[in-house]
């Protein structure tokens, strides 16, 4: 089991070191399916300092674990404490709004364009490469948040929503099917090496599962419209068109898709994410700071007859300290 020695540094708006703080408690939550994914809730003794707008950097032995911007610091004058709440830096982009209607021209390199929208933030998108472009003009209305604009653009080319790394730097990553990925984290219940606690829960979610997915571009400038269809016609699947003898259709229009290959990839992704049955598992482990965004986790739990790869959708740490515990929610698609 890895040992941790956590420290908590406050940086000013220019990312210059100010001081260390020593929390009474510190809760960390990460939800990969949310727009703002990382949050930190920390209780400290009241020292009279104004923490709003400062950065909180969590470290272990000088290795950065997470970075958030503090958005609220509420004083409890009776107990002489301050409750600090911080979020990943995407919340700054969410606060920014388009001041006028504007157009993204046709055949714009999307990744380069998003990088321009984030030009004031150091190193944003500096290591991401993609030649994907939009085939038609994209219209955005005044008042729309920059984060929503960026996420719409990234979705067009089959990328994740906007992310921040452990240092608070903005990035995104191209979607890959779990079956095409290699596990990043492995958990076993081997008695000599396991950091898993015994409370493991498992459930199967079956409800309104489609078997035909249709996606169509809805921009009049793309003529004829781009259309993609992905059908579950596997006779071995109890959900398929063959087994049910009927088509249960999931139909959506997609704005400004880059090309037919991208639209088909999006359709296939939507099928993977929606058309099959999810098996959900919750486990509790010792703290492991290797977790971040949609990690692929290999579980080999002989006690529960579980031996497969799962995508982690969220994780949480109730109290970030040496010897603390970490909860994980994971899922995998069951092919039926």
* Residue 245 confidence (pLDDT) above 70: yes
Instruction: Count CB atoms within 10 A of the CB of residue 80.
Output: 10
Predicted local confidence at residue 184, as pLDDT? 97
Instruction: Count CB atoms within 10 A of the CB of residue 178.
Output: 15
Closest by alpha carbon to 330, among 208, 198, 185? 185
Question: Per mean pLDDT, which range of 26-30, 95-99, 244-248 is the poorest?
Answer: 244-248
Q: What's the average model confidence in pLDDT over 61-76?
A: 96
* Residue 179 confidence (pLDDT) above 70: yes
**Most confident listed range (121-135, 144-158, 244-258):** 144-158
Please state the φ and ψ torsions of residue 64, each to the nearest 5 degrees. -70, 130
Predicted local confidence at residue 191, as pLDDT? 59
* Residue 80 confidence (pLDDT) above 90: yes
Q: How confident is the model at residue 195 (pLDDT cuts 50, 70, 90)?
A: low
Structure tokens at 125: 């998108």
Query: Please, are residues 91 and 69 in contact by the beta-carbon 8 Å criterion?
Result: yes
- The CATH fold of domain 180-205+277-334: Elongation Factor Tu (Ef-tu); domain 3 (2.40.30)
Predicted local confidence at residue 239, as pLDDT? 74
Predicted local confidence at residue 322, as pLDDT? 81
CA distance 47 to 213: 57
Per CATH, 6-88 and 180-205+277-334 having the same topology is answered no
* Residue 3 confidence (pLDDT) above 80: no
Please state the φ and ψ torsions of residue 72, each to the nearest 5 degrees. -140, 145
Predicted local confidence at residue 261, as pLDDT? 86
The residue among 126 and 117 whose pLDDT is bigger is 117
CA distances in angstroms from 181 to 32, 171, 296, listed in the order given: 17, 19, 7
Which stretches of the chain are DSSP H helices? 90-95, 110-117, 146-156, 241-244, 260-274
Question: Per mean pLDDT, which range of 41-50, 202-211, 324-333 is the poorest?
Answer: 202-211
Question: Per mean pLDDT, which range of 70-79, 101-110, 194-203, 243-252 is the poorest?
Answer: 194-203
* Residue 30 confidence (pLDDT) above 70: yes
3-class SS at 188? Answer: strand
Predicted local confidence at residue 297, as pLDDT? 97
Predicted local confidence at residue 8, as pLDDT? 98
Q: Could you report the per-residue pLDDT of 313-336, keeping only the tens digit for each?
A: 999 999 998 888 999 999 998 765
Query: Please, are residues 70 and 87 in contact by the beta-carbon 8 Å criterion?
Result: no
Q: How confident is the model at residue 276 (pLDDT cuts 50, 70, 90)?
A: low
Predicted local confidence at residue 114, as pLDDT? 95
Domain 6-88, CATH among 2.40.37.10, 3.30.420.40, 2.30.300.10, 2.130.10.10: 2.30.300.10
Question: Per mean pLDDT, which range of 8-22, 109-123, 165-179, 213-227 is the poorest?
Answer: 213-227
Domain regions of the chain by residue span: 6-88, 93-171, 180-205+277-334, 212-274
CA distance 169 to 275: 34
The residue among 293 and 270 whose pLDDT is bigger is 293
* Residue 77 confidence (pLDDT) above 90: yes
pTM above 0.95, yes or no: no
Write the DSSP string, 130-151: ---B-SS-EEE-TT-BHHHHHH
The burial class, CB within 10 Å (0-12 / 13-18 / 19+), for 74 is exposed
Q: How confident is the model at residue 169 (pLDDT cuts 50, 70, 90)?
A: very high
Q: What's the average model confidence in pLDDT over 44-53?
A: 96
Helix axes 146-156, 110-117, angle to 10 degrees: 170
* Residue 153 confidence (pLDDT) above 70: yes
Structure tokens at 44: 């400290």
């Amino acid at each position: 089991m890895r040992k941790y020695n956590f420290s908590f540094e406050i940086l000013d708006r220019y990312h210059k070191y100010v001081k260390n703080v020593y929390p009474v408690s510190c809760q960390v939550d990460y939800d990969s399916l949310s727009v703002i994914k990382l949050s930190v809730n920390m209780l400290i003794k009241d020292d009279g300092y104004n923490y709003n707008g400062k950065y909180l950097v969590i470290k272990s032995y000088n290795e950065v674990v997470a970075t958030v911007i503090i958005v609220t610091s509420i004083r409890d004058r009776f107990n002489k404490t301050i409750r600090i709440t911080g979020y990943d830096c995407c919340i700054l982009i969410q606060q920014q709004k388009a001041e006028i209607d504007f157009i993204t021209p046709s055949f714009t390199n999307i990744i380069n364009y998003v990088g321009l929208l984030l030009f004031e933030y150091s190193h944003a998108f500096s290591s991401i490469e993609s030649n994907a472009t939009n085939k038609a003009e994209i219209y955005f209305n005044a008042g729309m948040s920059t984060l929503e604009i960026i996420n719409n653009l990234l979705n067009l080319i089959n990328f994740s929503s906007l992310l921040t790394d452990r240092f608070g730097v903005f990035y995104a990553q191209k979607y890959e099917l779990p079956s095409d990925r290699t596990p990043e984290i492995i958990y076993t219940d081997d008695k000599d090496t396991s950091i898993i606690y015994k409370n493991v829960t498992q459930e199967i979610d079956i409800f309104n599962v489609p078997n035909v997915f249709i996606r169509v571009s809805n921009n009049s400038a793309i003529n004829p419209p781009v259309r993609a269809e992905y059908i579950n016609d596997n006779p071995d699947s109890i959900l398929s068109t063959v087994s049910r003898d009927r088509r249960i259709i999931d139909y959506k229009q997609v704005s400004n898709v880059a090309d037919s290959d991208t639209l088909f990839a999006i359709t296939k992704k939507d099928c993977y994410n929606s058309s099959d049955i999810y098996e959900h598992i919750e486990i509790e482990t010792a703290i492991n700071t290797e977790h971040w965004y949609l990690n692929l986790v290999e579980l080999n739990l002989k006690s529960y007859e579980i031996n497969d790869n799962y995508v982690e959708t969220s994780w949480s740490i109730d109290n970030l300290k040496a010897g603390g515990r970490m909860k994980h929610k994971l899922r995998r698609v069951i092919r039926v």
